[in-house]
Amino acid sequence: MALEIRSAKQTDADALTEILNRIVKAGGTTAHQTPFDPARLTAHYIAPASIIECSVATENGQALGFQSLTWPDAEGQPFPDGWAIIATFVDSAAAGKGVGRALFDHTRQAAAAAGVVAIDSTIRADNPGGLAYYSKMGFVDYDILKAVPLRDGSVVDRIRKRFDMT
């Protein structure tokens, strides 16, 4: 697999929306429960005010996944100074093929350049693939958010993992 990892652009929004919406539709691996449109995906992942980097992995021009790294929202996400938040989405057809690792290598470089101290990933406890991925990247558990409600009223714990940049 000849991957290209680059910064995401507005023109990637349609392809990244398709990837994320397939994940949302499958359920169980993301906190998102409602589909995105390209404008919402851009505002949330590609170009929010708090963006550090949003990377896309492509092969032969086809998007296979993306990863977004943002500074926390001061009002809704209390974190220590220098922490950032990561989100990763890889198309199921490309899972297990090194896409996530390649994305994180790129993101880690952007985090270092931005002066990030630590990266948080908060993952649903019922997402073994996501938990395993972040552990493989060197993230360690540091907290559990108990019984977080989903839109449908069910609850699920969220495992908080961190990657220290030093």
The SS3 call for residue 159 is strand
What value does the mean pLDDT take over residues 98-126? 96
- C-alpha to C-alpha distance for 90 and 70, rounded to whole angstroms: 18
Q: What percent of the chain has pLDDT over 90?
A: 70
Model pTM above 0.75: yes
Q: What are phi and psi of 60, to 5 degrees?
A: 50, 40
* Count of CB atoms situated within 10 Å of the CB of 153: 6
Domains of the chain as residue ranges with CATH: 4-164 (3.40.630.30)
* Count of CB atoms situated within 10 Å of the CB of 151: 9
Per residue in 59-77, pLDDT (tens digit) is: 999 999 999 999 998 666 6
